[in-house]
Every structure is written in C-alpha cells, then in structure tokens.
C-alpha cells in the first residue's frame, strides 16, 4: 500500500505546487536526443536525468560534477531559436 510522502522524500517538497515549466537536458551522447528533464515548480526545481545505467534525481540545477556529462538545452516555454533570415 502506498502511503503519504515523508517530509524527507524527494517529492515531498513539490506536493501542492504547480508544474510551471520543463527544461530539456542533453546527455553526453546525442542518442537519445534528451538525457533528462529539469522540472520547474512554483518554488523549486527537480532534476531527473540518466547517465548510462545510473539515474540522477535531485532538487536544483545540474551539479558542477555532472556538467561534463549533462547540459541544459532550454525551457519549453522559451521561444525556439530561429535561423537568421527566416
């Protein structure tokens, strides 16, 4: 039986908050094209990404130690970049 989240649970801080945006994370390889997501809630952000057979699930942005493997692409709410002259 699934019970209520505990105060120390990773998702415990987002209970009751609305998801306001999603950011795409590029992994160290271009296949698959997306290596993770940055979920932006009203008061916090949650990083969910994969590195080979390991998962990174934590609050906040990409940690410095993983920036060589993961890079932030952009928020879905941001306008897409356009080529000059189009």
CA atoms of 81 and 57, how far apart (whole Å) = 28
Identify the pLDDT of residue 13: 81
Q: Where do the structural domains in the chain lie, given as residue ranges?
A: 17-73
SS3 85: coil
Q: How far apart are CA 38 and CA 81, in angstroms?
A: 19
Its sign, for the CA torsion 37, 73, 65, 41, is negative
What is the structure's pLDDT at 85?
Answer: 45
Q: pLDDT by residue (tens digit) across 27-84? A: 877 676 678 999 999 999 999 998 878 888 999 999 999 899 899 999 999 876 555 5
Residue 47's pLDDT is 95
What is the pLDDT, as a whole number, of residue 86? Answer: 42
pLDDT tens for 1-33 read: 566 766 677 888 888 899 999 999 988 776 766
């Amino acid at each position: 039986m699934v019970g209520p989240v505990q105060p120390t649970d990773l998702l415990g801080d987002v209970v009751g908050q609305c998801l306001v945006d999603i950011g795409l994370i590029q992994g160290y390889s271009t296949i698959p094209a997306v290596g993770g997501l940055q979920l932006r809630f009203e008061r916090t952000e949650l990083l969910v990404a994969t590195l080979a057979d390991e998962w990174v699930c934590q609050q906040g942005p990409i940690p410095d130690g993983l920036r060589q493997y993961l890079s932030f692409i952009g928020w879905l709410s941001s306008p897409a970049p356009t080529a000059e002259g189009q």
